[in-house]
Amino acid sequence: MPAEVFKEQGNVFYSQKAYSDAFNCYTKAIDAWPKNASYYGNRAATLMMLSRFREALEDSQQAVRLDDFFMKGHLREGKCHLSLGNAKAASRCFKKVLELEPSNREAKQENKTAENLMELEKMANFGFEKRDFRKVVFCMDRALAVASACHRFKIFKAECLALLGRYPEAQSVASDILRLDSTNADALYVRGLCLYYEDCIDKAVQFFIQALRMAPDHEKARLACRNAKALKAKKDEGNQAFKKFNFEAAYQLYTEALAIDPNNIKTNAKLYCNRATAGAKLNKVNQTIEDCTNAIKLDDTYIKAYLRRAQSYMDTEQYEEAVRDYEKVYQTEKTSEHKHLLKTAQLELKKSKRKDYYKVLGVAKNATEDEIKKAYRKRALMHHPDRHSSATAEVQKEEEKKFKEVGEAFTVLSDPKKKIRYDNGHDLDDDGGFSGRGNSVFFNSGPGNFFFQFG
């Protein structure tokens, strides 16, 4: 059958959008007459409709090699270059058409598209240098609307999605490319990068190594692989030191690990929390709070960091802050343990807003009955009005106030029932309180006897 017949059959199938059948017919036409440029041009158009742009590019290039004045061939070659993200090559093709036919409107429009694509790529590269990864994603989305088959643009976008913490989106792009080309080193690198940033370091290293097998000069994969191995090793060293109760060494190792890769948000959040735990063992309370805060900035869902910080707030009597953290924890995980921690913090906050009778007497909260009595005698003597009778009226008033507070504190802390209620955060005024009216205390303090009447 003559080549023209196959071509005509192909044209019919093409008009019916039966592109696979059209492809077969054009292939037969080419086999029958391999020196005909228009046959390659027709098959290229068909391959473009099938989104097989690399094959379409080869046919277009063959068509113009056979006939350099074949304008459709040059146009199709340019469009294939555009779809594959080769804007400069596309522009050369469209300019060639304009040399042949200066008024060709399609070539003029497509050339503008190529120039816009070059500008988008330039903006994206600049954005990447400035670590403006959102800008890169924006530019690549616009670029891919033109260059839909460009793996390079897709990978660039996926890498920035990973750097923005949008791992599922980045993995989806990389996986799509790997389904088409399992040896694509860039896609393997991005897949590993996502795993690395999700703290799956062992799996990430496997992908980086695979990428380097495909492309031994892949510098990003090499650097990421080195960082991943170093980060895991340093973190493991810190964990081992902590388990051996060598908290100073653990603290230092976690510090060194944090310096390896500032971009690894999830792992660094854990490292900050680990260092906070070691810091708490070393009584570095303020540093512990700061480390937990840094961990939460990196991962605001990190319950362990909230719990560690809340405990440090409790230890430093920053009860309002502790309540806020425990509320966050309880809202996220409504367990009985978290409820108990929140209730305890709320109670301590309530207690902190009352007079601290232990501080008034200058004793610890676990002071014995005898220690409370001794402290009372000492403070009562210190603030007794008789000792300040020659002072100014202002001083006398202040000392009298302190003297009464000492009496109030002793009245509560020396009474087992009232002390228990006070320690449990109950309002003592609810059952008559400790007005002190009618209460008096007499003790022998040494040289003279003192009688204190509270009123």
- Dump pLDDT digits (tens) for 199-240: 999 999 999 999 999 999 999 999 999 999 999 999 999 999
Give the containing element (helix H, strand E) for 232.
Answer: helix 219-243
What is the CATH code of the structural domain delimited by 3-121? 1.25.40.10
- Tell me which of 426 and 403 has the higher pLDDT: 403
Contacts 24+ apart (CB under 8 A), 240-248: 242/274, 242/277, 242/278, 247/278, 247/281, 247/282, 248/282
What would the 3-class secondary structure string for 151-184 be? HHHHHHHHHHHHHCCCHHHHHHHHHHHHHHCCCC
The mean pLDDT value for 359-374 works out to 88
CA 372, CA 416: separation in Å to the nearest integer?
12
Is it the case that residue 33 has pLDDT exceeding 90? yes
For residue 91, give the 3-state DSSP assignment: helix
Is it the case that residue 431 has pLDDT exceeding 60? no
At residue 358, the pLDDT reads 87
Residues 6+ apart with CB under 8 A from 144: 150, 153, 154, 157
Q: How far is CA 446 from CA 237, 373, 386, 403, in A?
A: 62, 15, 16, 19
CA 153, CA 70: separation in Å to the nearest integer?
30
Q: Which two three-digit tokens encode residue 50?
A: 């099938």
For 258-353, which CATH superfamily applies? Tetratricopeptide repeat domain (1.25.40.10)
Average pLDDT, the chain: 90
pLDDT tens string 107-121: 999 999 999 999 999
At residue 429, the pLDDT reads 60
Percent of the chain with pLDDT over 70: 93
The mean pLDDT value for 73-77 works out to 97
For residue 449, give the 3-state DSSP assignment: strand
Burial class of residue 79, CB neighbours in 10 A (0-12, 13-18, 19+) = buried
At residue 444, the pLDDT reads 42
Is it the case that residue 454 has pLDDT exceeding 60? no
Q: How confident is the model at residue 419 (pLDDT cuts 50, 70, 90)?
A: confident
Give the containing element (helix H, strand E) for 10.
Answer: helix 3-15
At residue 439, the pLDDT reads 42
Is it the case that residue 51 has pLDDT exceeding 60? yes
The mean pLDDT value for 430-450 works out to 43
- Name the percent of the chain in helix, strand, coil, to the closest 5: 75, 0, 20
- Domain boundaries, given as residue ranges, for the chain: 3-121, 258-353, 357-423
Domains 258-353 and 357-423 share a fold: no
State the fold for domain 357-423.
Helix Hairpins (1.10.287)
Asked if 276 and 268 touch (Cβ cutoff 8 Å), the reply is: no
pLDDT tens string 152-170: 999 999 999 999 989 999 9
Is it the case that residue 451 has pLDDT exceeding 80? no
pLDDT tens string 246-300: 999 999 999 999 999 988 999 999 999 999 999 999 999 999 999 999 999 999 9
The mean pLDDT value for 318-338 works out to 95
The mean pLDDT value for 378-403 works out to 87
Is it the case that residue 25 has pLDDT exceeding 50? yes
Is it the case that residue 195 has pLDDT exceeding 60? yes
For residue 336, give the 3-state DSSP assignment: helix
Using alpha carbons, select from 88, 73, 78 the residue that is nearest to residue 109.
78
Identify the residue whose tokens are 């971009």: 263
